Structure 1
Amino acid sequence: MILELDQGNTRGKWRLIRNQSAAGEAEVVARGTFAPGPWWREAALPAAWIERAPTRVRIANVAGGEVERAISARLQLDLGIAAEFARVTAECGGVRCAYSQVERLGVDRWLAVLAAHHRSPAPALVVDCGSAVTLDLLGIGGEHLGGYILPGLGLMRRALSSDTDAVKVAECFAPGMSLAPGRNTADAVNRGLPLMVLGAVDRALDFLRQHCAAGGVSASRLILTGGDGALLASFLPQPYLLLHDLVMEGLALTNP
């Protein structure tokens, strides 16, 4: 049994899997999410972790070194296993990293790109919609072309509320809601923010299509993940894949 953790900047999620099959498919036997905050300081860890007694734990952590050390200590204390943290490398799983300083790339972005390539070698735009929105372009032959980082929907709304006296509105993002021009401030904000992210997705897809056309490839994929992935997907006119566990899927490639 393997415990996998995806620790973001504000919250984390986990799943317990059986050893993956030859086809690379993991059997998920339990899963869960944490409320924002340091779950590793709670009195008890999730009951499934104790009951299932995993023999390994693989972790994607973007919350910094202090959090990494705290998680490692807690897992060693309660479960008696050493945490295995994913690292970004120049090449892994047939993908070549675009960054010259690979350690500067967020490991969650790297894992998502690796998992996307493992599912299919076709070029793809990988969009992770969390506290930040990241867009990574996976080109022909496993070439990571780089990407973009934007504030997430919640972060943008809070920035407007805190820095703009007249723009203090309740968050009201609903899947498939109208994105027509707002006729009041609340609608203008809550429709404008997804529109900004969709605009970035469109421009990134244009760049990827140009790259593919130059290499004689006609098809590319759009892959979404992250907490706001389903919301963003509800506004898209083009085909997409919504894969909630994409980051954790990549852990089997960096930490086999």
Structure 2
Amino acid sequence: MLLAIDQGNTNTVFALLDGDAIIRKWRISTDEKRTADEYMVWISALLKLSEMSVSDIQGAVIATVVPQGKLNLVLLCRRYFQCDPLVVGDPNVDLGVDVRVHNPQEVGADRLVNAVAADHIYGGPLVIVDFGTATTFDVIGGDGAYLGGVISPGINLSLKALHEAAAKLPRIAVEAPLSDRVTGRSTLEAMQSGVFWGYVGLVDGINERLRAEHATDMKVIATGGLAKIFYGRAKSIDQVDHDLTIAGMRLLFIKNQHKCTPVPDED
């Protein structure tokens, strides 16, 4: 099986794949100081609960947007899974995608992986909206090239800032409203309405501008934990794909697996 590790700024997802099927998917809060040994204690317990073992893992691929967290994830794979992981963004990794931006090294690994998966599954031209710590929009051309995108503050980040900057405003969770009514009749309703409908406007407004700028009716694919609550309300979103990043990591591993070598046992 293949272990795909997707490390974001807030959470790190460990997914086990058998072919193109995701067998298990586990999530842990991202902590750049967490050691390889600590990861192993956690994941070995989960493997045992799933009646699996470390020996079931034959390869690994890592995509991280936290540079300080990369080393311990690589050590985890080398020390405990006996494999040299493929790390998205490393110079020797062939993306199979033409990255047409001023500095390709600035593009986050998650955005590149999403681009690979979306072009393979849906075909360009398209826009990928990823609802993560940041809400990102990535543009893929008709020829599959990565053309750049947009980065805006994530929803939970905006809520946290609102709560911390205004003493009387409570901390709330993002929820889809039961109706299309925008006017809030309490502070809580007003905050939920502002955040939810504000991001609906953000998503639809940016996608409208991107389509106009590129003069084409691009399909819009949404991913990330909060994508489902905006589907149907943000009219520009055509489809939600929660496993887009994992699918892209698998595709990149297949394309580059000859570069991943087993690690010999230590003497």
Q: What range describes the TM-score normalised by the shorter chain of this pair?
A: 0.7 to 0.9
Q: Does 1:34 align with 2:28?
A: yes
Q: Structure 1 residues 14 and 44 mapped into 2: Cα distance closer, same or farther (>3 Å)?
A: closer
Letter in 1 for 2:223: T
Alpha-carbon separation, structure 1, partners of 2:229 and 2:35: 26
Letter in 2 for 1:96: D
Q: What is the RMSD computed on CA atoms of the aligned residues?
A: 2.6
Q: Does 1:229 align with 2:227?
A: yes
Partner of 2:184: 182
Stretch deviating more after TM superposition (121-130 or 162-171): 162-171
Letter in 2 for 1:112: N
Given that 1:8 and 1:62 are in contact with CA atoms closer than 8 Å, whether structure 2 keeps it comes out as yes
Residue 175 of structure 1 and its aligned partner are, at CA, apart by 6.4
Alpha-carbon separation, structure 2, partners of 1:138 and 1:223: 11
Letter in 1 for 2:114: A
Partner of 2:60: 57
Given that 1:13 and 1:34 are in contact with CA atoms closer than 8 Å, whether structure 2 keeps it comes out as yes
Query: TM-score w.r.t. structure 2 length?
Result: 0.81
Describe the SS at the equivalent of 1:5. Answer: strand
Letter in 1 for 2:192: N
Q: Structure 1 residues 192 and 85 mapped into 2: Cα distance closer, same or farther (>3 Å)?
A: same
Partner of 1:202: 204
Given that 2:88 and 2:109 are in contact with CA atoms closer than 8 Å, whether structure 1 keeps it comes out as yes
Alpha-carbon separation, structure 2, partners of 1:176 and 1:88: 45
Alpha-carbon separation, structure 2, partners of 1:185 and 1:7: 35
Partner of 2:262: none
Mind listing any 5+ residue stretches in structure 2 that lack a counterpart?
256-267
Match of 1:130 among 132, 136, 148: 132
Q: Show the 5 A alignment for 1:138-153.
A: 138-153=140-155
Q: Does 1:73 align with 2:78?
A: no
Given that 2:128 and 2:220 are in contact with CA atoms closer than 8 Å, whether structure 1 keeps it comes out as yes
Stretch deviating more after TM superposition (42-51 or 3-12): 42-51
Residue 209 of structure 1 and its aligned partner are, at CA, apart by 2.4
Alpha-carbon separation, structure 2, partners of 1:252 and 1:232: 27
Q: Show the 5 A alignment for 1:153-164.
A: 153-164=155-166
Q: Structure 1 residues 112 and 170 mapped into 2: Cα distance closer, same or farther (>3 Å)?
A: same
Q: What per-residue deviation string (whole Å, max 9, x for no partner) do you get for residues 86-145 of structure 1? A: 11779843x322322111011101111111111132311100001111111223322333
Alpha-carbon separation, structure 1, partners of 2:122 and 2:209: 20
Q: Structure 1 residues 197 and 102 mapped into 2: Cα distance closer, same or farther (>3 Å)?
A: same
Letter in 1 for 2:86: E
Query: TM-score w.r.t. structure 1 length?
Result: 0.84
Given that 1:7 and 1:61 are in contact with CA atoms closer than 8 Å, whether structure 2 keeps it comes out as yes
Q: Structure 1 residues 144 and 200 mapped into 2: Cα distance closer, same or farther (>3 Å)?
A: farther
Given that 1:124 and 1:138 are in contact with CA atoms closer than 8 Å, whether structure 2 keeps it comes out as yes
Alpha-carbon separation, structure 2, partners of 1:197 and 1:179: 15
Residue 35 of structure 1 and its aligned partner are, at CA, apart by 4.1
Alpha-carbon separation, structure 2, partners of 1:79 and 1:144: 33
Letter in 2 for 1:68: K
Alpha-carbon separation, structure 2, partners of 1:234 and 1:176: 13
Q: Show the 5 A alignment for 1:240-251.
A: 240-251=238-249
Q: Structure 1 residues 243 and 88 mapped into 2: Cα distance closer, same or farther (>3 Å)?
A: farther
Q: Structure 1 residues 175 and 125 mapped into 2: Cα distance closer, same or farther (>3 Å)?
A: farther
Residue 36 of structure 1 and its aligned partner are, at CA, apart by 5.0
Given that 1:135 and 1:147 are in contact with CA atoms closer than 8 Å, whether structure 2 keeps it comes out as yes
Partner of 1:6: 6
Q: Structure 1 residues 229 and 16 mapped into 2: Cα distance closer, same or farther (>3 Å)?
A: same
The number of aligned residues is 244
Alpha-carbon separation, structure 1, partners of 2:221 and 2:135: 13
